[in-house]
Amino acid sequence: MKILLVVAVALVDTDGRVLIAQRPQGKQMAGLWEFPGGKVEAGERPEETLIRELHEELGIETQEDCLAPLTFASHAYPDFHLLMPLYICRRWQGLVQAHEHADLKWVRATRLRDYPMPPADEPLIPVLIDTLAHV
């Protein structure tokens, strides 16, 4: 089984809400809500991938020292095994815009279950709830 390395990030705003992004029509898992990110390309470090994807997908700029490792997903899809480090980021420049997604939403971690997410993401939700419980 091929292991696919995808990096993702929980962007957290000053109210403690997390950004989720809706996968567009025409892609696998269209309509589901995910954390921004994408596949690590050849020659890239995961942090470089995230900075690139945040620029491409959301039009924001981030620096490596604003990306903190939080947890990871490890999930067997039928055709690949997804290994997905999840970073947390509270500082960036610019306003988020949906360049590649159908929609974006800022949600409390405790409300993430209201939005259908890929099965790999479900175990990440309690980690975010714990991490952001104090906010």
Ligand X SMILES: Nc1nc2c([nH]c(=O)n2[C@H]2C[C@H](O)[C@@H](COP(=O)(O)OP(=O)(O)OP(=O)(O)O)O2)c(=O)[nH]1
Binding residues for 8-oxo-dGTP, as ranges, are 23, 34-37
Of 60, 128, 50, the residue nearest 91 (C-alpha): 60
Strand-pairing partners, residue 6, are 39
In 10 A of CB 116, how many CB atoms? Answer: 13
Least distance to ligand X, CB of residue 26, Å: 9
| Residue 21 token pair | 């992004």
Using CB under 6 A as the binding rule, the residues of this chain from 85 to 104 that contact ligand X are none
Least distance to ligand X, CB of residue 108, Å: 17
Q: What x/- string results for residues 8 through 27 when contact with ligand X is judged by CB under 6 A?
A: x------------------x
**CA 10 to mean position of chain CA atoms:** 5
* Contact residues: ligand X, CB under 6 A: 6, 8, 27-29, 34-35, 37-39, 82, 118, 120-121
